[in-house]
Amino acid sequence: MINIIASNHRNPEDNDKAFLGLFRQYEQDIYRMAYVYVKNKDDALDIVQETAYRSFLKFNTLNDLKFFKTWIIKITINCAIDLLRKKKKVVHLNIEEDEFISNSTEDIPLSLTLQDLLEALNEDEKTVLLLKYYQGYTFGEISEILNIPLSTVKSVLYRALQNLSKKTRRVDMYEQ
């Protein structure tokens, strides 16, 4: 299908059909990647929509359709990070509720979920880890998606795994 579409890549109508077909093919992957970042259905769907918009506008810049999936996942990650940055800028006005919630959870036993562990990582570490183990990309593919050297991908992943290891050791220490 991609070869047929690639030959018609210059015709705007065929270009639109090609984009729609490819986007539908990877829509679930896009949603899953978005959900891992934002942790809720509504925001993940917003990211899918924003990814569709941004990628449709730039589809004509994609030189080779065999790289569509890596290209669209990179756009998804950027949209997710943009949304998270916007949410960090939101100021909560009712501070007493936050204080009440934090005080009421002090007696709850310490437990750590995978999501908590991912939140402890910086954005680069989180992205590389998700692309490697959640999406199953190779180091070379991750290097292409993020447009960083292969050695950097490996060192970021190694650092992320070290940070996760330290985090889980601290939890084990408290649970004994």
> What span, in angstroms and rounded, lies between the C-alpha atoms of 128 and 142?
7
Question: Considering only the top CATH level, what class is 2-88?
Answer: mainly alpha
Q: Which residue has the tokens 């939890």?
A: 171
At residue 10 the predicted structure's pLDDT band, cuts being 50, 70 and 90, is: low
The single residue listed with the structure tokens 């924003």 is 50
Q: Which fold has domain 107-175?
A: Arc Repressor Mutant, subunit A (1.10.10)
Q: Where in the chain is the domain with CATH 1.10.10.10?
A: 107-175
CA nearest neighbour of 50 among 60, 38, 61, 62: 38
Mean pLDDT of 42-58: 94
- Asked if pLDDT for residue 32 goes beyond 70, the answer is yes
Tell me what pLDDT residue 105 has. 43
Q: What is the pLDDT of residues 140-152, one digit of tens each?
A: 989 888 889 999 9
User: Of 52 and 111, which is predicted with more confidence?
Assistant: 52
pLDDT computed for residue 114 by the predictor: 67
Task: Determine the residue type at 60.
Answer: N
Please check the confidence at residue 162 and state whether its pLDDT lies above 50: yes
pLDDT at 166: 79
Q: At what angle do helices 68-88 and 139-146 cross, to 10 degrees?
A: 60
pLDDT band at 123 (very low <50, low <70, confident <90, very high): confident
Length of the chain: 176
CA distance 138 to 133: 9
- Report how far residue 38's alpha carbon sits from residue 73's, in angstroms, rounded to the nearest whole number: 15
> Among 48-52, 118-122, 130-134, 172-176, which stretch is predicted with the lowest mean pLDDT?
172-176
Which of the two residues, 34 and 107, has the higher pLDDT score? 34
Q: What is the pLDDT of residues 53-71, one digit of tens each?
A: 999 999 988 888 888 998 9
